Amino acid sequence: MNIVLSGFGAVGQAAARVLMNKEKEWKHTYGVHIKITAVLDRSGVVVHSDGLDPEQLLHTKAETGRVDDGSLPPRNVDQLWADSQADIFIDAAETNTLTGGSGLPLMQSALKHGVDVVCVSKGALAFAWDDLHELAEASGRSIKYSGASAAALPTVDTALYSLAGAEVHTIEGLLNGTSNMIATRVAAENITLQEAWEIAKKEGKAEADPSEDIGGKDTALKMYFLTKACLAAEVTWKSIAVRGLDQLSDAEWKQAEQGKTKWKLVGKAHKTAKGTTVSVEPRLLTTEHPFFHVDGAEKAVLFSTDTMGRVLVSGGASSPEGAAAAAWKDVIHLARERA
């Protein structure tokens, strides 16, 4: 499978490292041969239909700050798919929910050219979910987004595969590892939210914009994807009611009792005959709730169904490597489906 990778920042470079270490194992285990045949980012484009060496890509980026090797880039996007002999496009570029970012036109072009799409970036899906999925259906291609919907935590796959045949009516998600880590630290170390966020920022674990993590935006985006994929609901991500951890008052934080209750930033989607409601808000959970026991940077999702009861999935690395591994999981599934 020939891969075109857009974005060579933290996740894109992690994708190269994971492929470098796992490609032989994947070929032996799954019978699929995966190679990167093009990489593009703000610095340039590099294409080789025979495959690019992940180690060399990483070295070039580290030494020069660029991905290209000085060769002439494709004349246009159409030429990119032809020159790379692309099978799958991975969008790992920076998320832009206002315009869909650079990923949106690339995804549209990929689908029109018969190239499957794997998303790590959330921007294009948030901006144009319905249009992109209609285009994919018309083109006979697929869009997968494990890396965008909670990185290494298997959310969509659990609902669509492991719960096939059951009706999912409620989804609860503890989907942002950074906000969970910060909330855990506030409780354990008796410090303020601002202090905990600043520590996470210094550790390189928090976004520069606090609205992404503790403000609830990232959780809202992931809940939107889960709601669209698993509940087939007519919602937009902007319609989701969001209250972040940063909107809790000091008095509310003090309501948590050591060992009895904890504040968690929880997304919830509930489907009834009257429609679907989606929200993100801090919830003071007791020990009876499964999320009470999920601490640090761990994440979790809880599906409630008609015939299979409640199903909890927790864990999953909250890191560039975790997101990259989730993207490669999608690639492996696509490769096996297309075989």
Catalytic residue flag (residue 222): yes
Which structure tokens are listed for 291?
A: 């999320």
For residue 167, give the DSSP letter. P
| Residue 10, annotated as binding a ligand | yes
| Residue 235, annotated as binding a ligand | no
Could you say which of 35, 61, 144, 222 is catalytic?
222
Question: Please, what is the Cα angle at 287 between 193 and 214, to 5 degrees?
Answer: 25
| Residue 100, annotated as binding a ligand | no
| Residue 8, annotated as binding a ligand | yes
| Residue 296, annotated as binding a ligand | no
| Residue 122, annotated as binding a ligand | yes
Alpha helices for 31-176 (secondary structure H): 54-64, 77-84, 103-112, 123-139, 156-157
Alpha-carbon radius of gyration of the chain:
20
The overall longest dimension of the chain from CA atoms, in Å, is: 62
Q: Spell out the residues 6+ positions from residue 285 whose beta carbon is closer than 8 angstroms to its own.
A: 261, 262, 263, 264, 266, 291, 292
CA–chain centroid gap for 224, Å, is: 12
| Residue 252, annotated as binding a ligand | no
| Residue 7, annotated as binding a ligand | yes
User: What is the rounded distance in angstroms from the CA atom of residue 180 to the CA atom of residue 184?
Assistant: 6
**Which residue numbers belong to the known binding site for NADPH?**
122
**Which residue numbers belong to the known binding site for NADP(+)?**
7-12
**Which residue numbers belong to the known binding site for L-homoserine?**
207
Active site residues: 222
**Which residue numbers belong to the known binding site?**
7-12, 122, 207
